[in-house]
Amino acid sequence: MEIQEQAPGAFPSDFRCGFVAIVGRPNVGKSTLLNALLERKVSIVSPKPQTTRHRILGILNRADAQIVFVDTPGLHGAGQRAMNRHMNRAAVASLNDADVNVFVIEAMAWTAEDERVLEQLVKRGQPIMLVMNKVDKIRPKERLLPLLEELSRRAPFIEVIPTSATKRDNLSRLPDLIVGHLPLSPPHFPPHQITDRSEQFHIAEIIREKLTLRLHQELPYGVTVEIERFVQEEGRWMVNAIIWVERRGQKAIVIGQGGLQLKEIGRAARLEIAQLCNGSVHLELWVKVKENWSDSEAALRQLGYDSLD
């Protein structure tokens, strides 16, 4: 990733900056946590596992520090398709680059996959902050205390913090605790920058999010989105996008009877894209078949899934 450090002397000598990987197994709320910390949506969210497929930077700018959060795909053992390998590579690469790792788990739901993630983190030796997410679902709260005590003994965590990313409970402490573990450094990115991703990338992700929210349980993992055209004409943003599926039967599901499903997906996506672009949007969607694209390394590269993305 390209880093653009600021001119020396522009920031105080005790200014800190570094990379903080948000890691964990799938569907524990990593992207929701990032969005809550930034108070802005930079990573798409759905209730379905493995929604995040890329490394996405979310940059928190403070007077004393710049925290570069890295949202990562969920580390997982199941699945041997090329897409699974891509997501695991992206997550592991983020661990290697991090100054601090924020390890996110779900309250009262410790699993073997959580154990495997923790083993990887401990081997690397960077400071680890344990965030127990979704505590708003636990009643009574006293049930959490024994688990917090048990987990605190599993590794030398710098902090163990119960929180709810959706409710934004107990989040304000996280940046303060992280900053002290970052290196002394000028910022890597301009102070106005919030993410490293382009508008075109976010538009494709918005469309994929709406697909994931509306489609059947299995289908979203065989769907990806490619932006063919993104231009402004006469004060209006023109967006043409291809929705790629793996089989002809999936194409019929995405389009729906009489095209209704695709229209609803397009309507929901267009409204959010208009907010992102701060203007009127004309969105056209096409659904095409690329057989077994998610199990082809070459197809993944063609569709924008870099090996360490």
Q: Do β-strands 236-245 and 159-162 pair in parallel, antiparallel, or remain unpaired?
A: unpaired
Q: Are residues 147 and 205 in the same domain?
A: no
Structure tokens at 281: 């949007």
Identify whether residues 145 and 99 lie together within a single domain. yes
Q: What's the CATH code of the domain at 132?
A: 3.40.50.300
Q: Does 57 share its domain with 168?
A: yes
Does this model's pTM top 0.85?
A: yes
Would residue 248 count as lying in a domain? yes
CA 173 to chain centre: 21
Are 224 and 241 in contact by the 8 Å Cβ rule? The answer is no
Instruction: Confirm whether 127 is domain-assigned.
Output: yes
Query: 186-211: per-residue pLDDT in tens?
Result: 999 998 999 999 999 999 999 999 99
**Could you tell me if residue 309 is inside a domain?**
no
**CATH number of the domain to which 297 belongs:** 3.30.300.20
Residue 189 falls inside a structural domain: no
The answer on 221 and 168 residing in a single domain is: no
pLDDT in tens, 248-263: 999 999 999 999 999 9
User: Of 179, 208, 236, which residue constitutes the final position of a domain?
Assistant: 179
Q: Is residue 272 part of a domain?
A: yes
Q: Note the helical H segments in 47-194.
A: 82-97, 112-124, 144-152, 173-179
Q: Cis before residue 47, ω within 30 degrees of 0?
A: no
Residue 263 lies in a domain: yes
Percent of the chain with pLDDT over 90: 69
In this structure, are 161 and 40 located in the same domain?
yes
Q: Are residues 76 and 142 in the same domain?
A: yes
Are 46 and 139 in the same domain?
yes
Q: Is the dihedral of CA 120, 123, 127, 131 positive or negative?
A: positive
DSSP at 153: T
Tell me, yes or no, whether 39 and 159 share the same domain: yes
pLDDT in tens, 31-82: 999 999 999 999 999 888 878 888 899 999 999 999 999 998 888 765 668 8
* Residue where a domain stops, chosen among 149, 179, 209: 179
- Residue range(s) defining the domain that contains residue 270: 199-302
- Tell me the C-alpha to C-alpha distance, in Å, between residue 18 and each of 30, 92, 178, 213: 19, 17, 10, 34
**Residues 77 and 137 both lie in one domain:** yes
Number of domain units in the chain: 2
pLDDT tens, position by position, 86-136: 888 888 888 888 999 999 999 988 999 999 999 999 999 999 999 999 999
**Same domain (yes/no): 175, 205:** no
Residues 148 and 245 in one domain: no
Domain finish residue from 179, 207, 224 = 179
Residue 11 in domain: no
Asked if 217 and 129 sit in the same domain, the reply is no
